[in-house]
Amino acid sequence: MPVGKNLNLKRDKVIPDKKKGVKEQKAEGDIKKLDPTQLTVPKPVGQTIIKEDSYSITVTPSKRKKVRKTKVELTGDLGINNIAAIDKHIRPLFDSYDLVDVFLKDVEAYDLTTMQLLYMYTAIHDTEDKAKLIKVITDVSSDFQKLTHTCGFSKFMYQYKA
């Protein structure tokens, strides 16, 4: 006599439906595989604009679902007086996204601290995590371009004219 007939179990308990079993397995598997830091990182849905008195930051995430990419525009006074606040706003973006394009537009003030901050982000993510790519693209005046070249930071900043 087969062993299965001796058991008084319903078929649903022994052999779960494929649909229910797959959904439950995926849900349990996804929770176990996720890193706790990924659960706390908010994903921006649309464009975020941060406006202060002398500078503004515009963050536009990509609509593509497979690539975590964003575009960050920095405008206004990017000098030493505002660099700590700018760093506070944009630092989480480099951890949340794999591809970050930083655009400098309509820059009123720009100095060595701005270049050092942006270089730090590109250098750290270039050496530590090869999966991340950070590009700094500038549209600044010729005086700021000369300053960038003189300080030796023109190698990692791309120039463009909009």
Q: Which residue has the tokens 């600044």?
A: 140
* Domain ranges, residue 21: 3-39
Q: Is the pTM of this model over 0.75?
A: no
Instruction: Verify that 83 and 151 share a domain, yes or no.
Output: yes
Q: How far apart are CA 160 and CA 20, in angstroms?
A: 54
CA dihedral defined by 44, 117, 87, 40, rounded to 10 degrees? 50
Q: Do residues 60 and 108 both lie within one domain?
A: yes
Token duo for residue 158: 């791309």
- Please give the tally of structural domains in the chain: 2
**Is 151 found in the same domain as 116?**
yes
d(CA 36, CA 129): 19
Instruction: For residue 15, give both structure tokens.
Output: 């052999």
Query: Which of 11-25, 29-43, 54-68, 124-138 has maximum average pLDDT?
Result: 54-68
Residues 31 and 93 in one domain: no
pLDDT given for residue 8 in this prediction: 56
Asked if residue 76 and residue 21 are part of one domain, the reply reads no
C-alpha count within 13 angstroms, C-beta hemisphere, residue 104: 26
